[in-house]
Structures are given as structure tokens and as C-alpha cells.
A and B are shown apart, each in its own frame.
Chain A
Amino acid sequence: MRFVFKTTYRQDLGLFRDGAQRNWYVVLGLAMLVVPVLVPSYLVDISLVFIYGLCGLSLMVLAGYTGLVSLGHAAFLGIGAYAHVYFVQDWGLPWVISVALAAAVSAGVGVLVGLPALRMTGVYLTIATLAFALIIQEVLTRWERVTHGLKGRPVDKPVIFGVSLAHDAAFYFLCLAALIGGLWLTANLLRSPTGRAWVAIRDSEIAAQSMGVNLARYKTLAFAYSAALMGVAGALFAHKVGFLAPDIFSVLLSIQFLLMVVVGGLGSLHGAVFGAAFVAMLPVLISEARDRVPAWAGQVIALAGKDAGHATFLGLDRFVKQPGLEPGLFGLILVLFILFEPLGVYGRWRKIQVYFSTFPLYKRATFRRQKTYMRSERLR
């Protein structure tokens, strides 16, 4: 068991709980630096984890902290991606300025979506964002002068300050830097009055208002900030996929983003990153399994009998080549998480940490939430 002695108020303002935690993050950072040497063939996949991490962060601010669930975040990703490519390739703007502008455009659209959202709560808002995403997808298809419509548009490799980042490792570090930057800015907001106002709106709008929180202002701010993060992610995403077409930014992608924050754990920055790793790596794992599991299983069963082994191989091979396997698995995992671990991967991670730090005195009741029946009538 480790004790944290708090002796000044400053300790509660730090990004890390204590020196030990900070050192672990330094170790993690160093590990990230050597990843390109260790697993060069997976660099592109890991870059996608970082980009999705930014997306998770964006939706975490909105859904996890402010309590506004959006089913249209892929639209902001699309706006960011197309805006960035347009600014860089048609206007010839420098890369950094273009990304900043893409974020600003996305934030502007975020404000526009946020304004009607001020009058809607819960599931109605979710439906409204869904409709918004469909509209944006249609705009991306029809506005051919900018987006090239269904023909799609190829994306060049990023060139920053005259340095081409065509190499996978260079792009990996670019995405890593963007994710760390996003995490830092978001953590800063969350330890400031703005972040507290967001959490207050999530837990009780009426109390937040009585304490002086301007609901309209902070909800719009949450939408704008979330959309800006999504815009930056979109710019990186454009370079990652190398070719933009409107059907990439579908509702299915929005659902994957929501899956990310729920599986990761609503209401924690760790959750956003865990969820991103999960959603980005699952397709990779599935395709690996597709290639290898039937052969392995066939060989193992073949020890008992050659025909049985061959039959197992054929059966499994046919099963894993089913086209709907991936979305089916995603859905199954989401259901299992909501049933057994509503706090997500991060919640499970915390439980494991507490198990070891209090060993052998861990009790399951520590995390059992009491049901309260206090809130009867609410002013809504």
C-alpha cells in the first residue's frame, strides 16, 4: 500500500498524483520512443490508435464530461479532414496553419450544432447530432468543387516546415505528439473552472446554473472544443488513409467513436485512450486471427485424427471469413461491457490497481455503488 502525503494545496493541482505516477508516465513515454524500432510493421496501425485517441478525447469531453451524447462525431472528423486537404492542396497553405484552420472550421460548425442543442437534452440531442452527421455526409458528397464528391480525393504525405514526413515512423511521431498535446490541453481544462463547469452540467444542470454557470456558454464551448479536437484528428486521419471519400465518414464510424468512450470508460481521459487502442487494434487482431487460428486449431485437432483436423480447419476457416464478423464482434463486446463493466477498461484497470495495492485485504464492496432513491422530482 502506497500513501500519498498531501502537504500543500499545490499537490492537488498537479497533472500527476505523485512523483511515482509521473515516473511511470516518463517510462511509458520512453517506451513509445522505441516502439518504431521494435514493431516497425505495425506503425501505421499504432498511428491510427493515436488519431483515434484524439477522437476519443473529443467525444469524452462532450459525452463523458459534459453529458451531451453525440452520434455525429464522424462528421466533424470529415470536416476537419476535407478542410485540411483543401487548405493544403488547393490553397497551398503551410501544414501547421492549415491544421489550425481546419480545427477552427470544425469548431465553428460545432458551435452551430451546439446552438440548437441548448434546447435539447438526452436522446433528442443524440438524434439531432445523428441527423447533422447525415447532412454533412451529403454535403461532402455534393460539394464537388471542394471535396471532389464520390470520385474522392487523394491526399499527399504531410510536409511540415519543408520536411517531408513520408516515412511511417515520422508520421507515428507526428500523431503521438498531437495526442500528447491534446491530452495536455484537455487535462488543463479539466483542472480549471471550465472543466468543473462541464462536470457540473453533466450531473445537475439546475444546480450548475444556480452556482453561476452559464449553461448556453459552457455547452457551446464543449461542442466547439470537442469539434476542434476532432478537426485536428481529421487532418491527421486524412494523411493516414491517403484518400478521402465521403462514405468513410459514415454513421458507423460515429458509432465506433461512441463505442470507444463507453468501452474505455466514460468520464476519464485514460478511458479515451484505452478505448481508442481497443477500437483501432481490434480489426488488426481479427485479421491476424483470420489468417492463423484455423490452421493452428486444425493442427491441434489433427493430433487426434487427421480427418477431424482437416474438417475443423475448413469449418473454422469458413466461419472467420464471414463478412459480418467484425461489426458483430464490436456489438457483442459493447453489450458485454455494459453488462459486466459499465466503468469500461479504465474501471477494470483501477480495480486491478487497488487489488494489488491493498493485497491481501481487497474487498469487492469497495467499488459497489449504493443505490440511492433520493432524487424524486427534478426540474427539467
Chain B
Amino acid sequence: MMLEARDLSINFGGIRALDGVSFAMAPGEVFTIIGPNGAGKTTIFNLISRIYDPTQGRLIFRGQDITRVPPHEIARLGIARTFQNIELFAHASVLQNLLLGRHAHARGHFGEELLFLPRVRARELAHREAVEKVIDFLDLQAHRDSFVVNLPYGVRKVVEMARALCTEPTLLLLDEPSSGLSVEETEDMAFWIQDIRTLLGITVLMVEHDMSLVSAVSDRVLALDYGRVLTLGTPREVQEHPEVVKAYLGA
């Protein structure tokens, strides 16, 4: 199993945001979480990124228990993520943003960096080459030196995904990859998600509202409501499930 959640629960004060959620993802699959607003989708992401501590339950990533791993270690284990409201480093160039994505493989040489020894230069060149591969993969060549504050929203979305890919993850978490994108940009996003899975062999866990995108790329879909699992299955099964229809339409 790539990632396994066992009986995951979390309370915020008196609110039970997640209530005994369990699922398991196979390597190489695209797994989507859907659900109405406030169902707890992003909370699952924040639990996997270790921003929140679960009240109960465990998270197992490739056989390792990550329930109590510090948040900055998650990237090195091979989990990268994007954010619903884009958390890029706005006053830095795209290139610097992507190079920061290499941080998990680039830390702890303060003394050498102070003097910028030849070793640091060699490492920087290696990082740059890794970043350039991602730039080619996602067609970001034209934006390499622009500052993020000057980029349109759609490009920022792609830059954020690129930054996540620069960490060389085995599991990629995409929080609403199509939100705020035009129809054409959403189409591109669908292609890229497929390419990330088939060409790079990365397992994808995403939260998404656009059902056409969900059906186009996902292998399995998990439907949540009020922190509980409604159903789990193929996109078609989940869309036709009476509980899911009820949760969305309130009938």
C-alpha cells in the first residue's frame, strides 16, 4: 500500500471534523476525495502534511507510521502537496520557487554555503538541472525568471504543481487543482495529472469538485460528508450512489 489511513479522527474544539475515516491507496493510482464544503477533505490533506495532529487513528506511508513525524520531514519521505489557495513565495522568481522545492534534498551545509565552496556550486547546478526537467515537463520555460506576483492565476497553479514535483515525490497531494481555472486550463490539468501518473509513476491523491475532471482521471473516488465516509468506488459508482446525491442536493 502507498498510503493507508486507519480510523482517522480529529476534533476542533467540540466539532468532529473527521470521524473514523479509513482508506488505502495502491501505488500508481489516482485517488480522489470529493464531498460538499466542510466535509473534511482539506483536513485529511493537512493531517497527511502533519500540520494537524489527529485526535485518534494512524497514517501509514509505505509501511512507515507517519502519524507523529515532524511536518518538515514529510517532504523528504516523498510526499509533496499543493494548496487550495496557492501558497507560492510571491516575491521570488519562479526559478527560486522551484529550487526551494529541492530543499528536502539540499539542506544542512551552512558552513559550506557561507563560503560558497565549489561543492555548493556543484550541488546547485545539479538542483538546477532537476528543476529544468520539471520546467520542460510542465512547459514553464517562458515564466522561468518572472516573479510570481506578476503571473496570472492559471500559471501560478501550474508553478505550484511544478514546485511539488521538484521534491521528487512518490505521492502527490493536489488540493483542488482545477479551482479558478478556465475550461482550457482544466483540460491541460487533466492531461498533466495523467502524465504525472503514467510518465513519472507518481501516485496522486486529490481533492476536486469538477466532476468531469474527476471522472476523466481518477481510478477510485472517496465521498465524504460531515467527516464520515459515504462511499468508496469508481467515479461512476460514487456519482450514482444515493447517499452522495443526497449529500450534494440535500434531498
Contacts and interface: CB of A to CB of B under 8 A. Distances in A.
Interface of A: 9-10, 12-13, 185, 188-189, 191-194, 196-197, 199-200, 202-204, 206-215, 221, 267, 369-370, 372, 374-379
Contact of A212 (B92, B96, B104, B116): B104
A197 B83 contact: no
B181 to A, nearest CB: 13
B182 interface: no
B183 interface: no
Contact of A197 (B46, B100, B120): B100
A221 B116 contact: no
A363 to B, nearest CB: 14
Contacts of A203: 88-92
B75 interface: yes
A202 B71 CA distance: 18
A125 to B, nearest CB: 19
Contact of A379 (B51, B72, B89, B100): B51
A375 B84 CA distance: 10
Interface string B97-111: 001111110110110
Contacts of A191: 116, 124
Given A10-B125, A188-B115, 12 more contacts: A192-B120, A193-B113, A196-B96, A204-B89, A210-B75, A211-B100, A211-B167, A212-B76, A370-B150, A374-B85, A375-B86, A376-B85
12 contacts: A189-B114, A191-B116, A191-B124, A196-B99, A203-B90, A212-B76, A212-B107, A374-B85, A374-B153, A374-B180, A375-B86, A376-B85
B170 to A, nearest CB: 14
B128 interface: yes
B21 interface: no
Given A208-B100, A213-B103, A192 B124 contact: yes
B153 to A, nearest CB: 7
Contacts of B95: 12
A13 B120 CA distance: 10
B47 interface: no
Which 10 pairs across A and B sit closest by C-beta, in order of nearness? A212-B104, A212-B75, A192-B113, A207-B87, A203-B89, A188-B116, A193-B106, A204-B87, A214-B72, A9-B128
Contacts, number: 125
A67 B80 CA distance: 24
Max chain B CB contacts within 10 Å: which of A192, A377, A378? A192
B32 interface: no
Nearest to A206: B87
Given A193-B103, A203-B91, A204-B88, A211 B113 contact: no
A193 B113 CA distance: 8
B5 to A, nearest CB: 18
Contacts of A214: 70, 72, 107
B114 A188 contact: yes
Interface of B: 46, 49, 51, 70-76, 80-81, 83, 85-92, 95-96, 99-104, 106-107, 109-110, 113-116, 120-121, 124-125, 128-129, 132, 149-150, 153, 163, 167, 180
B114 A207 contact: no
Contacts of B85: 374-378
Given A188-B115, A211-B75, A196 B103 contact: yes
Nearest to B49: A210
Contacts of B80: 210-211
Nearest to B45: A210
A13 B119 CA distance: 13
Given A374-B86, A376-B85, A211 B101 contact: yes
Contacts of B124: 13, 191-192
Contacts of B109: 192-193
A196 B81 contact: no
Nearest to B113: A192
A209 B88 CA distance: 12
A199 to B, nearest CB: 5
Given A197-B103, A209-B72, A376-B85, A9 B92 contact: no
Nearest to B166: A211
Contacts of B153: 374
Nearest to B46: A379
Contacts of B113: 188-189, 192-194
A192 B116 contact: yes
A370 B74 CA distance: 34
Contact of B121 (A13, A202, A209, A377): A13
Contacts of B104: 211-212
Contacts of B101: 211
B12 to A, nearest CB: 12
Nearest to A201: B89
B103 A12 contact: no
Contacts of A376: 85
B117 to A, nearest CB: 9
A226 to B, nearest CB: 14
A369 B71 contact: no
A208 B88 CA distance: 9
Contacts of A13: 121, 124-125
Given A9-B129, A193-B106, A379-B51, A211 B114 contact: no
Nearest to B147: A369
Q: Pick the most buried of A9, A212, A370, A376: most chain B CB atoms within 10 A of its CB.
A: A212
Contacts of B167: 211-212
Nearest to A224: B110
Contacts of A9: 125, 128-129, 132
A297 B183 CA distance: 69
Given A197-B100, A203-B88, A215-B72, A210 B110 contact: no
